[in-house]
Amino acid sequence: MKLSIPEPKIELYKDGIFKPDTLNRKPMATKLSNLVESIDDPLVIALDGGWGSGKSVFLKCWVGEHLKTHPDQATTLYFDAYEHDYLDGPLIALTGALADRLDEEETSPALLAGLRKAAYKLLPMMARAGLAVVTAGSTKIADELTAALINQSSENVEKAAEAYWKQEDGRRAAMEEFRVALTALTKPNEKDEPQQKLVIVIDELDRCRPDYALQMLEVIKHFFATPGVHFVLGTNMQELANSVRATYGAGIDADRYLHKFVRVRMPMPAGSDRRPSHGYAVEHFGTIAEKLAIPQDAWRVFNSYLCALNQAIPLTLRDVEQLTTLIAVTPCQHFEDSPEYQIFAGLLIIKVLKPAWIGLARTNQLEYDNLDSMFRMQELHGGNTLVPDPQMCWQACLNHLAIAGNQEVKTSLGDHFMNRTRKTIIPDLSTQSLDAFELPSD
């Protein structure tokens, strides 16, 4: 018994874009690969999409897809920033992850040793985080001598760090040595042009603590600004702007601030020229509904609502997955070809996309205008001739019968609801179905 489809198992750096590419992500992958390979100057690209839009799955696949389409031309690193934001700062964790990745790639021992040595000299930048940061899975950045120092008490490490960073020349030299080590990884030619790109994907940045997210941007700008080294940020730029405001105050121009760090913004595609912006989500609903064995008649009803959804209302892949779970666990005593089921289906989608409206439904304050603003009611039809017209069902339930259309149909629906008070149908469904859950039968 399954209530949801598990996250796809992705082997980083090995798997590429899934086949079949049901969400049509291949064009986006190609566009991103062409961009990072055609530019030598250090580049920060924001893959901008809302929560639940599929950024993480795409980026995990892309780090492998890029290596497949550009063999021996790049090294890619996937770094989940949210997994590390319990630390005081991102520099050591990011550098440690990079060293580990280069170790997997069997990078030249001399180049890797140079990076580890240079990275250790940056340790004073994070000395206030203490020994916990240094030893949190990142000791591979150090050679044997460095490891011996790190394994001393945090007090000794911080004393050494403080003495080192009191020298202005030491600070500058450490940063320059780190950049030189990064540059060596790009294998520059005699004209100092990088021959192999290093592409670092920073995912889940918008989920991090505001201070950590902004520190990550500062680290990228000040320590990794090296030709041939590119960053791809998986983030929601609106939420990242909120992090800027949370840190520096509501009066700051957050978008302008972020422009200092992000050179290119690529929106996460939600549609194509051939399909509306909700097309991917609706197709995803069909795929999941089939895997979860949702009855075809029920699928038709819900699918008609999703297809008629106002394009201005966001519908993410995560919303679709939440909806299918609710369909599986929410009891409904009405058949799919009944007017009540039409109301039930609409309410369930409202519960996912406009949960505050469910409060209105419970108190009989939901208006037809609410429905009309959410679903293009004139375009909303049943899945087949046996399914009632949902527009008529809602208008009958909400006591708006005086509309253009077939009087006989309206009267029939009115008669259908006469055995129950029309004004109580929506509150009753909210209480009996939306507020109750049951496990699906095997």
Which of 223, 243, 267 is where one domain is finished?
Answer: 267
Start-end of H helices in 186-316: 210-223, 237-248, 254-259, 279-291, 296-307
In a domain, 414, yes or no: yes
Among 24, 47, 45, 49, which residue's Cα sits nearest to residue 35?
45
Please count the structural domains in the chain: 2
Sheet of 229-235: strand order equals: 74-80, 197-203, 229-235, 43-48, 264-267
Start-end of H helices in 72-167: 91-104, 109-121, 131-134, 144-150, 154-165
Same domain as 284, residue 251: no
In a domain, 81, yes or no: yes
Same domain as 290, residue 259: no
Report whether 335 contacts 367 (CB < 8 A).
no
Which of 210, 235, 267 is where one domain is finished?
Answer: 267
pTM of the model: 0.66
Same domain as 331, residue 237: no
3-state secondary structure (DSSP) of residue 203: strand
CATH code where residue 134 lies: 3.40.50.300
In a domain, 37, yes or no: yes
Distance CA 137, CA 100 (A): 10
Q: Which class for 163: exposed (0-12), middle (13-18), buried (19 or more C-beta within 10 A)?
A: exposed
Same domain as 234, residue 321: no
- The one-character DSSP state at 265 is E
**Number of alpha helices (DSSP H) and beta strands (DSSP E) in the chain:** 20, 5
Same domain as 358, residue 398: yes
In a domain, 406, yes or no: yes
Same domain as 245, residue 147: yes
In a domain, 3, yes or no: no
- The one-character DSSP state at 193 is -
In a domain, 356, yes or no: yes
20 upstream amide cis, omega within 30 of 0: yes
In tens digits, the chain (442 residues) has pLDDT values of 455 566 778 899 999 998 777 778 888 999 999 999 999 999 999 999 887 778 998 999 999 999 999 988 899 999 999 998 887 778 878 888 888 888 888 777 778 787 877 777 776 554 433 333 333 333 333 343 344 444 444 455 445 545 544 555 666 777 788 888 889 889 989 888 899 999 999 999 988 999 899 999 999 998 899 999 999 999 999 999 999 999 888 889 999 999 999 999 998 865 443 444 577 788 888 888 888 888 888 888 999 899 888 888 888 888 888 898 888 888 888 888 888 898 999 999 999 999 999 888 888 888 888 888 898 887 776 555 556 778 888 887 876 544 444 444 455 666 666 556 667 888 888 888 887 765 444 4
Same domain as 176, residue 246: yes
In a domain, 18, yes or no: no
Same domain as 255, residue 291: no
Same domain as 152, residue 108: yes
In a domain, 17, yes or no: no
Same domain as 101, residue 241: yes
Distance CA 281, CA 309 (A): 11
Same domain as 254, residue 376: no
Which domain, by its residues, includes 156?
Answer: 26-267
Same domain as 323, residue 242: no
Which of 237, 267, 297 is where one domain is finished?
Answer: 267
Q: What is the DSSP string of 33-72?
A: HHHHHH--S-EEEEEE--TTSSHHHHHHHHHHHHHHHSTT
